Amino acid sequence: MKKSIVLLLAIMVSTLAFAQKKEKKGIFRKKKDEKKVSWGIKAGISTSDIKPGDLFVLDSENVQRYKMNVKDAQFGLNLGAFMHIKTGKRFFIRPELHINSTRTDYEIQDLLRTSGPLAETVMESYHNITFPVNMGVKFGPLRLQGGAIGGLHLAGRSDLKDYDGYAQNFKGMDLGWQLGIGLDIWKFNFDWKYGGDFSKYGNHMEFFNKDIAFNGNEKQMKFAVGWTF
């Protein structure tokens, strides 16, 4: 986490120095022919804040079979594109399209096991496509924005498939919210966003033909660097 933030700050500083050299008369000066609609590409990292309590899974006879908890949420990567639409002197709409890759490590214990380790660490990786739509206001190079985000599952891999009764059941589009700030320096964009899902974390899981979910929602922080064409 700290290394990633330091890296992003270093990129911002070097970009600012490059932009100052590129536009000696002022990097923040508004151009007379500024476009009402522009688009660009972006890439970034994300980190999740997931702190649900233990989850107890019942088998087909309603006996407690597994005890699960979230051990660690790894950093995720995302690539995407955006469109910036000016709707007034300061107001804008910013729809985006992202492809994301994330991973979560779980600790699971088979309560009926009589030998071997009490608990094991297993991994699930997810690949999804998200559709953020933000609205906001811009003051010079600074953007303040917020909006909704939808997501669809594309693919993934899970070590939980080795446990009896497990299945994945992604139920259409997930919905969430996000707030953030952005900084535009020449053609470069820097974004920091914080948001969460409306649904419970882990609601894609099934055990013994029953839906399960942790008692909590996922919160996520994202950092991204973009380029406007």
Domains by residue range for the chain, with CATH: 32-228 (2.40.160)
Query: What was the pLDDT predicted at 227?
Result: 97
Burial class of residue 76 in the structure, from the number of CB atoms within 10 Å of its CB (0-12 exposed, 13-18 middle, 19+ buried): buried
Q: Check whether 27 has a pLDDT greater than 70.
A: no
Residues 6+ apart with CB under 8 A from 113: none
pLDDT band at 114 (very low <50, low <70, confident <90, very high): confident
- Residue percentage of the chain with pLDDT more than 90: 65
Q: Please answer whether residues 205 and 168 qualify as being in contact, where contact means their C-beta atoms are separated by less than 8 angstroms.
A: yes
In the predicted model, what is the mean pLDDT of residues 108-129?
88
- For the stretch 169-228, pLDDT in tens is 888 899 999 999 999 999 999 999 999 999 998 899 999 999 999 988 889 999 999 999
In the predicted model, what is the mean pLDDT of residues 13-41?
59
Angle at 126 between CA 124 and CA 129, to 5 degrees: 170
Q: Check whether 5 has a pLDDT greater than 60.
A: no
- Is the pTM higher than 0.75? The answer reads yes
Q: Check whether 16 has a pLDDT greater than 50.
A: no
Residues 56, 60: Cα–Cα separation, whole Å: 13
DSSP state of 33: T
Angle at 15 between CA 9 and CA 19, to 5 degrees: 145
Closest CA to 108 of 182, 173, 164: 164
- For the stretch 145-178, pLDDT in tens is 999 999 999 998 999 999 999 999 888 899 999 9
pLDDT band at 82 (very low <50, low <70, confident <90, very high): very high
Q: Are strands 174-185 and 142-158 parallel, antiparallel or unpaired?
A: antiparallel
Query: What was the pLDDT predicted at 157?
Result: 93
Q: How confident is the prediction for the chain on average, in pLDDT?
A: 86
Residues 99, 30: Cα–Cα separation, whole Å: 32
Q: Check whether 14 has a pLDDT greater than 90.
A: no
Query: What was the pLDDT predicted at 19?
Result: 44
Q: Comparing 47 with 29, which gets the higher pLDDT?
A: 47
Query: What was the pLDDT predicted at 125?
Result: 93
Q: Check whether 110 has a pLDDT greater than 60.
A: yes
Q: What is the DSSP string of 82-141?
A: EEEEE-SSSEEEEEEEEEEEEEEEEEEEETT--SS-S-EEEEEEEEEEEEEEEEEEEETT
